[in-house]
Amino acid sequence: MSSRPAPMLEQAAKGTVAFEAAVHSLTDPGFTRPSSLTGWSRAHVVAHVARNADALVNLLTWARTGVETPMYASGDQRAREIEEGAGRPAAELRAELLAADNRLAAALAALPDACWAATVRTARGREVPAAQVPWMRVREVWVHAVDLNVGTSFDDVPHDVCAALVDDVAASFRGRPDSPSVRLRTEDGAHTWLLGDSAGVDPVAVSGDLPSLAAYATGRPVPGPLFPTGGGTLPKLPAWL
């Protein structure tokens, strides 16, 4: 049986189109304006997403060849390349993004079915199967489309991606002492998640629509109302990534 993650590959392609469309909507001067990420312009976000595409190509190369190929040579190199990219003219940065997206799309399409099960390592040192790479790109392009601060919100993110994002956050917060205990619940009751450690603590229940819960969990602007237990304030969550 093939382990090719076809649904996530499709979502990665859709998310890439959405991010590129958001970038295309920017005027050249708009690249220098602030994103919603502290200290980063929109150009920083675009440069980061382009460099992430190449970093994921490295992981696919690792999966295909068996030769260890880290996402980034170092954290310093990653930061330096983002700064350099953010300083380039808007037309050059647009072209860089499209070229990087095309390289990643080609690498994803060309990976043999047997290689999707190969183990690779993320920039944070987590060992995962190569089949996780498309999800890593889905996460980048959709969340950073919101971070560009050009009008895209989590209401524009597909609901299955929103749910997968909260799955990701819940897994990363599991056992973290800096995370409050929070139980998220969609208004229709179809989805629930526990963030943080609930041992000996009653979680604060927070309900709302799925896009708003995903935005809250990932630390992004929340498009709709959220309702914590008893009408209190929303617990402050730690940084996700």
Tell me whether residue 219 is in a domain: yes
d(CA 152, CA 8): 21
User: Domain check: are 109 and 215 in the same one?
Assistant: no
Last residue of a domain, one of 152, 170, 197: 152
User: Domain check: are 141 and 181 in the same one?
Assistant: no
pLDDT value of position 230: 80
Tell me whether residue 113 is in a domain: yes
Cα–Cα distances in angstroms (integers) from residue 133 to residues 198, 228, 239, in the given order: 31, 34, 21
Last residue of a domain, one of 98, 127, 152: 152
Q: Given the DSSP bridges, would you call strands 204-208 and 182-186 parallel, antiparallel or unpaired?
A: parallel
pLDDT value of position 1: 40
pLDDT value of position 232: 83
Last residue of a domain, one of 152, 183, 209: 152
pLDDT value of position 199: 74
| Residue 167 and residue 185 in contact, taking contact as beta carbons nearer than 8 Å | no
Q: Supply the range of the domain harboring residue 181.
A: 158-231
pLDDT value of position 202: 87
Could you tell me the CATH number of the domain that includes residue 68? Answer: 1.20.120.450
User: Domain check: are 64 and 122 in the same one?
Assistant: yes
pLDDT value of position 2: 55
Tell me whether residue 182 is in a domain: yes
Tell me whether residue 240 is in a domain: no
List of the chain residues with pLDDT < 50: 1
Q: What is the largest CA-CA distance in the chain?
A: 55
d(CA 124, CA 139): 15
d(CA 52, CA 55): 5
3-state percent helix, strand, coil for the chain, nearest multiple of 5: 55, 10, 35
